[in-house]
Structure formats: C-alpha cells, structure tokens
Structure 1
Amino acid sequence: MTKRQPSPGPSAIVRPDHDGRPHPDPRADPPTEVFDPSAAPTVRLPSVVAETVRLPSVVADTVRIPSVARGVTPEEDSGDGGLSDGLALSLSSVLGSLAGFVGWLIAAHILPTAAVGDAQLVASAFILVGGAAQLNLGVAMMRWIPPAGRSTAKLIWSSLLLIMPLSGLVGLLYALFAPRLAMISAGPALPVAAGFLLFAIASAGWGVFPVHDFLLVALGKPWWAVWRNAIFAVVRLALLVFLGGALALGSFGIVLSWIGPVVLWIIVGSLVIFVLARRATERATGGKLPSRSAMIAFLVPTAVGQAGGALLYNQVPILVNLRFGPETGAVFFIAWQAVAVIDLAGMFFMNSLAVTVAREPHRARELAAAARRRLLGIFLPMLAVGAALAYPLLLIFGEDYAEGADVLRLLLLGLAFRLVVAHELGVRQATGAAMSYARLQLSSSILVVVAALVTPVTGAGASALVPVAIGYIAVQVVCAVVVMFTPASRRFDVEVARP
C-alpha cells in the first residue's frame, strides 16, 4: 500500500529553475523524506514457496514466507531451527523402541519361550515388510510438503495410497513364501486364510504407521507424534498383558496386541492428517509438487539406504547368534538393542533437517551446523550415562546379561563416532544428495556386518563378544574420519534439490 505524499509545508518551498523543473529553495528547511514502497527495489530471497508478502520494513523488500505456502501460519512455526521437530521425532523413536523392548520382556515373563519366539517371528516379519515398502517416503514428505502449497493434500494421499497397498501386497507374498507366519497369525481357532489376511493387514498398517509421524512434523504438529506413540505404547502393552496373560492366547495374543492398535491408530491418524492436510491446502496460495523424475531420483537411492539401516539393526545380532551360540547371542542382543535405540533416535533427530532445509533452503549450511551441535550436545551425554550405568542396567535382566557390560560400553563408544555418520546422512538427505546418502548408509552398514561375520570365535560367554564390539568401533572410526575429511565444498555446497 502506497502512502499519500503530504503537501509540502512552508519550510519546504520549491521554486522553478531555468529548466522549468521545481527545485527546493536552498534557504528553506530540508523537506521531510517520505518513503514510497512502490519505488523501492524488490529483492527476492531464495526459497521454495510461491507466496510473497510485504513486510513493514524501511527497505520494503519482498520476502517469501515458507509457512504461508505450506498452509502453516507463522505462529505455528517453531522458530527454533528444527529443534522441536528433531526432538519430537527422536522421542517418538525412543518411545517405540522402548515399548517394543518392554513388551518382549513382559512376554518372556508370562509366556513360554516357544510362544515368544513365534510371536517375535511374526512381528519382526511385518515390521521388516512395512519398513521396506515405505520407500523412504516419510523423509521425502518432510522435504516436499513445505513447498507443496495447495497440492499438499494431493501429495500426502498419493503417497499413503501407494505405501499401504504395496506393503499389504508384499506382506501377502512374504507369507506365501513362509506360511508359518500365516499359521501363527491365525491362532488356534481361525483358518489359515485368515492368518494370511491378518499378516497382510499388519504389513500394510506398519508401512503407514511410522510415516504418520513424519507427516505430523511436516504439517507443523511435531509433538502430536510423541503423544501418538506414547498412547500407542500404553495400549499395546496393556493388550499384551490381557490377551497373552489373562486370556492365555499365547503367541496369538501377542500378535493381536500388535495388529489391533496398529489398525486403530492408522484409522484415527488418517482422519487427523486429513483435517490438517485440508487446512494446509485451503490456507495456501500457489505451491509446487516435485516432478516424477525428481521423486524417483530421490526415493530409489534413499530407499536402498534405508534397507542398509535395516541390515545394520537386524542382521548383525542374527550373525552373532548363529556364530557364537544362542546364549552368547542373547547377551549381545540385549546390548545391541540399547545401541539400536540410541542410534535410531539420532537418525530420527537428523531426519528433521529435511523439513527445516525445505522451509529455508538458503540457510542449509547454517541449519546443518546447528543440527550437528544439537545432535552431539544431546546424545554424547546420553552415551556417557549409558556407559557409566552399563552394569546395573544389564543386571535388571540377570547376571548372565550383566556380564556383557564391557561389550555395551565398547558399543556405546563406537556409537559416539557413529553420530558423525548420522549427521552426514541427515545432511545428504536434506540436500537431496540421494545417491551419496545411499552409498554412505550401505557402506557403513555392510562393513559392520562383515566385521561381525569375520570376527573369530575364541570362546563362549560375554568375553568372546569383545572382538565384535571392537570391530564395530573400528568401522565407525573409519567412516567418521572419511566424513570429517571430506571437503566442505563437496558436503555442503550441494545445491538443495528444488522439488
């Protein structure tokens, strides 16, 4: 809006010069300058959205506000450079991991070992299928939703309607190749066909379940994801005690304690996301969806990298169990779970960088540096506390597990170097360096698997696991050194991929 120019006062008398143009009388007081915004130069800062607003400023620059185009009001922006997003994702990950861990501990106390093994087989299988079929669309949504604008709802539902059928189909095929999964899922009363259906439903539900967390963050409600996971954990554990213990349904009860809450949470979560997405779409003006080629270029390599993470978390304890025996493998499994919980929390924390960079791509370098400081500041003290309390923490599970305290301390030391790798993985995802992300994730994961595979078996018990832990440290040190000595121009001067 252009201000009306005030009429000159008596101290601002003008008089014509010889060329006929008015000039101020040098004897008069200088005129009061009045700023005309229409005459000011318009400077467009680099951003990823289409809406422009004029700020009340003496320079009257036109600045692009990301929250307007993504349908989130400025009041909803955290203004903390993504710290809230990262903490929310990390806490959601920790809650899910701890709830799973506590659930298996409860199951071990109320059910026979064979029943726990059957239930764990089904749960591990549908979590594996659902995780692989996500195609890394969770992180992709955090990159693509901020600039989507009026296409926000279309982008979200296109993704969900791809993940859910794909996860269900892969789950069904998986169960056909391993019919024991359907037999366990059917329980003692249902037909095997119902078991196939239940396993496919569980796979489809778990394919979408973690993605809802990322969508809530991208839509400006990061702490809703924390409450969602907390309530889910309480309900699932309560059902586990009731179905597996009180009703004595055995492994079938454990399976139902997973499938029931997952289905319910997907229904309720989808309704919530429907409302949030519609509001974001209605408030937005403009916006842009990524091209199909851009989607494929990001998703294919990062999905492969996500598979590398699954290999790291699941294949290593399996190898140790097979090579060192079930008793020694159980000690390693408990220690490895503690490491996996913290590692996943760190990865989730860095995943939030994708949405902050998408909102403010011109600050990519600054946001990456801030994320590194926060990551180390939060997780290094956590590792120190874990190392100091390793023995009493493992003693909760029994003396046999407490013997692995030194192994846990060594693994936590390796995880300190792993944080450097986790930060770099987050930066590469946020800047769209998909192939580079996949190479780093796969190489770091495969090296750990190789270390667990070639470590000589020198005996039994926790002491035999020390070389495995040292091998893990060696891999993480090598990967961290490679990342730290990569020239900054190659790591941070990557042009942020415009959707």
Structure 2
Amino acid sequence: MSADLDAGHPSTSRYGAQRVQREAIAVAIGSAINAVLGVAFWAFSARFVAPDELGVMTAVLSVITAVGSVIAAGVGDAYTAILPAVGRDRPAVFRRGLRLTTVLSTVAGIVSGLVVITSLSEVRGDYAVAAVVVVGIIAWSAYGLQSATLIAIGRANWTPPSNIAHGVAKIVVLPVLCATIAWQSVPLAVVIASAGMVVVLRPSIRRLIDTGDGLPTSGTISAGQAMVEFHRVVSRTTALSGLNLGVLALTPFLVTLFAGPEDGARFALVFAIVSTLDFIGASMAVSLAVHASAEPASAGAMAKRLMARAGVVTVLGSVGAAAVVPTALHVLNPAYDRGTTLAVVVVLCAGSIIRLPYLMWAALRQSERRLRAPLVLSGATAILLFAMMPACCAALGAVGAAWVVLAHQAVLTAGAGIVFGRKYFGESARGREALSRGSSRKKEKR
C-alpha cells in the first residue's frame, strides 16, 4: 500500500456523494473479510480452549475491546467530523488525536486492569492479567483509531488488506500460544496482531497526512476553530461510544460475571461472530459521517442509499450465521448444543438488523457535530441494559443476555425514529436534496 496508488487524483475527489459509494463498498468488503477471518479465529478458540477457560479469556478480551473501542471511536469519530473539513491544518489535528488516545488508553488501561482482577473471581489478584489488559487497551485503541483515520482521509480502500493482515496474524499466533504458554491465549493473540498492524501502518498514514496527498488543501473551518471543535466533539463522541459501543462490547464480561464462564464462552463466541455484521453497518455509518461532513447537501440521500445496502448485507449475513454457526460450534466442541446456540444467534442477528437506522441517524448527527440527542438516548438505553442483564443472565444464561441486547438495540432505533428520525429523514433530507438540485442547475446554466 502506497500513497503513489492514489496520486494523480484531484484533491476534491476524496470526498463527496460520488466517492461515498466507492468508500462504502471498500468498507463493506473490509468488514466481510473481517467477518470470515473472525469466524476462523473463534473456531480455533472453540476447538483448542475448554469452555470454562474460554469464558474467562473472552471476559478479559471483552474489557480490552470495550474500553479500547470506546477510546478509538471517540477520537476516530472526531477525526471523521473534523479532518475532511480542516484543510492544511490536518496534521495538527491528527497529532492532537494521537496524543489524546495514548493518554486516555494508558489511564483507562490501568483502571480496567485493576477492575478485572478484583471483580472476576477466576483471575482475582492476578497482576499479569492486569498487565495484559493495560497493554491490550493501548494496542486495541491505536489499531481502532488507525482504521477510522484511513476512512477519514479517504483511504477506505486500505481497510480490506489491513483487515486481512490483522485477521491472519490472529489466526497464526493463537495456536502457537495455545501450544506453548497456554495462558490467556485468546486476548494475547488479539493484542499481538493489533500492535503489529499499528507498527506497520502508522508511518504511512502519518506521511499521507503530512504531505496532504490527494486531500483538500482548503478547509471549511479555520485551524483555531478546528481545535476547539475537535475537543468538543471528542468529549461527546467518547461519551457516546462509551454508552453505545462500549456497553455492547462489555456484554461478554457481564455474561461471564452473572451467568458463569460456560455461558460466557457461548455468548462471546456468537457475539463475536454476529458483531461482524454490526461492523458492516457501523463502518458504513463512519463513511457516511465523513462524506456528509464534506458535502452536507447530499447527506440525507447518502444515508438512505447506505442504509439500504447495509440492510441487504446484514440480512444475508444473519441468514448465513443462523444456518452455519450452531452446527459449526457443536462440531468444534460438543459442549455447545445446537438449540441454545441457535437461539442466541437468531436474537443477536435480529438486534443487528434493527440497529441499522439508528447508526445512520447517529452518523448524520455526528457529521453536523450535534451529538446531544444521541448521548441522551444512548445513556438511557445503557441504563436499561445494565438493569436487565443480571436477572436475565441468571434466569436464561446466554439466551437471556441476547434478549437484553436486542431490547437495547430496539429502544435505540425506536427512540431515534420516533423522537428524532422523522425530522432528519423527512423534511431535512428533502431540503438538502432540493438544495443540491438547485446547485446543479446553476452549474449547468454557467
């Protein structure tokens, strides 16, 4: 991957309604690759690690990915809202985000490591596990921020090869760890692969931003305004990702805590596979935020097209997951019976489908840097999830946890649609399209 591949294109070609289609396809391909390799990774995990041990490992990994993803999404979403609009001052914003990510991930890693070894009885007092959590959060947040940066600078076509390298690295490292140290093999494999991708790609990304290759040199906001906006947006996007993405990513830990390691392992395996469907819609939403920020007149039309495409892919993926995952897990390890696993798969897939309208609406709000409404809605649904999880896990185990996640997703979308969505996808979208058509007619007359 080289900047030379993109040379020769006009700077304005990196953003806009025409570019968003290509970017969304690249993101969808990257998500599909991630899904396939993720299934392979978790298949290895189910085959080589006993359910009671895997439940503990997935609980540790869920804390790493939950906290790391919150930090990466918080800064990364601010990148998608600011970098397309800032012009020549892009490097200063980029470096500010890197420094902020490093500080946040280090502090959050230390706190999270201590929480894990005090709340989870199976690893209580194990400071080596705490160290894995600290290093893991730093590596995962850096890797997640890297993916968001690529999309924010119009290089979504880099995400498929990046996902391939990351997925293959996890699959190669996991059996080696299982055969050698046989300790926290699953989280360690993810941490090693993530850190490796950061080391390989960060210099190239830094060079692209410093040289401005193929990126607009003029911005719609000044340098001073960009920094003010960046800090304001980071605080809100971090809070939003924590209440939304972070809460969901933490659910395997909660299931292990409230239902035991075996139910935690079953839920974590299915959740990890089904989450790849969620990433398709979420990644397309990130692309929407980037291009809607650069070309707001076309935001509503872009959102509708991307939601339709994401819906088709998610529904097809859900059907495939329901058909394959229960039998595959049972073959890999008979401890995972088909009936219970199928119930978890179906309920979680339904949640992924229901979540799509909320993701697109939240991306549109992000592109405008107006996040108060998503914050309120996400806060309310986070409280709902934490309130329901202990009782539902105790009564129904992994299946109960899946129903809690579905309820969380349904309330998010219902809230966005009933309270806020009509305004955005109705009058505002028509106004933007009319504005876009009027602009096109003026250009034709000229």
Q: Specify if TM > 0.5.
A: yes
Give the partner amino acid of 2:295.
E
Residues 425, 491 of structure 1: alpha-carbon distance in 2 compared, 3 angstrom cutoff = farther
Matches within 5 A, 1:43-82: 73-74=11-12, 80-82=18-20
The 8 Å contact of residues 62 and 252 in structure 2, kept in 1 or not, is answered as: no
CA deviations over 1:398-422 (Å, ceiling 9, x no partner) = 1744214355334434443322212
Would the alpha carbon gap of residues 178 and 382 (structure 1) be closer, same or farther in structure 2, given more than 3 Å must change? Answer: closer
Q: In structure 2, how many angstroms separate the alpha carbons of the residues matched to 1:390 and 1:322?
A: 26
CA distance in structure 2 between the partners assigned to 1:175 and 1:478 by the alignment: 35
Alignment of 1:88-99 (within 5 A): 88-96=26-34, 99=37
1:372 correspondence with 2:310: no
Equivalent position of 1:149 in the other structure: 87
Q: 1:230-278: CA deviations, max 9, x gaps?
A: 1111022111122322xx2112554543333322221221111122112
**Offset at residue 280 of structure 1 (A):** 0.3
Q: Does 1:357 align with 2:292?
A: yes
Indicate if the aligned counterparts of 2:109 and 2:134 stay in contact, CA closer than 8 A: yes
Contact 1:149 1:284 in 2 (8 A): yes
Instruction: Tell me whether 1:107 sits opposite 2:34 in the alignment.
Output: no
Counterpart residue number, 2:444: none
C-alpha distance in structure 1 between counterparts of 2:405 and 2:59, whole Å: 26
Aligned residues: 413
Q: Look up the match of 1:479.
A: 415
Q: Contact 2:39 / 2:273 at 8 angstroms: preserved in 1?
A: no
What is the CA distance between 1:490 and its match in structure 2? 8.3
Residue 377 of structure 2: aligned partner: 440
Report the more deviating stretch, 195-204 or 430-439: 195-204
Matches within 5 A, 1:30-45: none
Question: Alignment partner of 1:220: what SS?
Answer: coil
Residue deviations 1:308-353 (CA, integer Å, cap 9, x gap): 2235424545555566665556555444444432223212211111
Q: 1:163 aligns with which of 88, 101, 117?
A: 101
> 1: distance between equivalents of 2:234 and 2:431?
18
Letter of the aligned partner of 2:87 in structure 1?
G
Q: Provide the residue aligned with 1:239 in structure 2.
A: 173
Q: TM-score, normalised by structure 1?
A: 0.69
Aligned partners of 1:417 and 1:480 also within 8 Å: no
**AA aligned opposite 2:353:** A
**Alpha-carbon distance in structure 2 between the residues aligned to 1:492 and 1:305:** 24
Determine which of 348, 351, 357 is the counterpart of 1:420: 357
**Residues 401 and 125 of structure 1: is their aligned pair in 2 closer, same or farther, counting only changes over 3 Å?**
same
Structure 1 residues 242 and 306, CA gap change in structure 2 (3 angstroms): same
| Corresponding residue number in structure 1 for 2:194 | 262
* Structure-2 separation of matches of 1:175 and 1:388: 36
Q: Structure 1 residues 285, 173: CA separation in 2 closer, same or farther (over 3 Å shift)? A: same
From 368, 372, 375, the counterpart of 1:431: 368
Partners of 2:34 and 2:149 lie apart in 1 by 17
Map 1:219-298 onto structure 2 (within 5 A): 219-245=153-179, 248-251=180-183, 253-280=185-212, 285-287=217-219, 288-289=222-223, 290-298=225-233
Which structure has the highest helix share of the two? 2
Q: CA deviation at 1:200?
A: 3.5
Q: Distance in 2 between matches of 1:347 and 1:257?
A: 24
- When residues 99 and 494 of structure 1 are mapped into structure 2, their CA distance, relative to the original with a 3 A threshold, is farther
1:97-147 per-residue CA deviation (whole Å, 9 max, x = no partner) reads 654453243133224456544543443333233223336111211221122
Q: 1:345 aligns with which of 264, 267, 280?
A: 280
Structure 1 range deviating more: 471-480 or 288-297: 471-480
Contact residue 178 and residue 185 of structure 2 kept, 8 A: yes
1:403 counterpart SS class: helix
Contact 2:58 2:265 in 1 (8 A): no
Give the Cα separation in 1 of the matches to 2:242 and 2:230.
Answer: 18
TM alignment of 1:191-202, pairs within 5 A = 199-202=133-136
Give the partner amino acid of 1:168: T
Which SS does the other structure have where 2:329 is aligned? coil
Q: Counterpart amino acid of 1:417?
A: I
Q: RCO greater where, 1 or 2, for CA within 8 Å and sep 6 or more? A: 2
1:396 to 316, 328, 337: 328
- For the aligned residue pairs, the C-alpha RMSD in angstroms reads 4.0
When residues 456 and 303 of structure 1 are mapped into structure 2, their CA distance, relative to the original with a 3 A threshold, is closer
- Structure 1 residue 423: deviation in Å? 1.6
Contact persistence 1:413–1:473 (CA under 8 A): no
How far does the alpha carbon of each residue in 1:421-457 deviate from its partner, in whole angstroms, 9 at most, with x for none?
Answer: 1221111111211112212333344444445456597
What secondary structure sits across from 1:82 in the alignment?
Answer: helix
Asked if 1:218 corresponds to 2:152, the answer is yes
Supply the distance in 1 between the matched residues of 2:385 and 2:111 (Cα, whole angstroms): 30
Contact 2:59 2:252 in 1 (8 A): no
**Could you say if the C-alpha distance between residues 475 and 175 of structure 1 is closer, same or farther in structure 2, counting changes exceeding 3 Å?**
closer
| TM-score normalised by L of structure 2 | 0.76
**Is the 8 Å Cα contact of residues 344 and 398 (structure 2) preserved in structure 1?**
no
Distance 1:127-1:494 versus aligned 2 partners, 3 A rule = farther
Q: Is 1:392–1:402's contact at 8 Å kept on the other side of the alignment? A: no
Other-structure match for 1:299? 234
8 Å contact 1:152–1:281 — kept in the other structure? no
Determine if the alignment matches structure 1 residue 174 to structure 2 residue 108.
no
Gap change, CA 1:367 and 1:172, over 3 Å in 2: same
The answer on whether the counterparts of 2:392 and 2:401 sit within 8 Å (CA) in structure 1 is: no
AA at the equivalent of 1:225: T
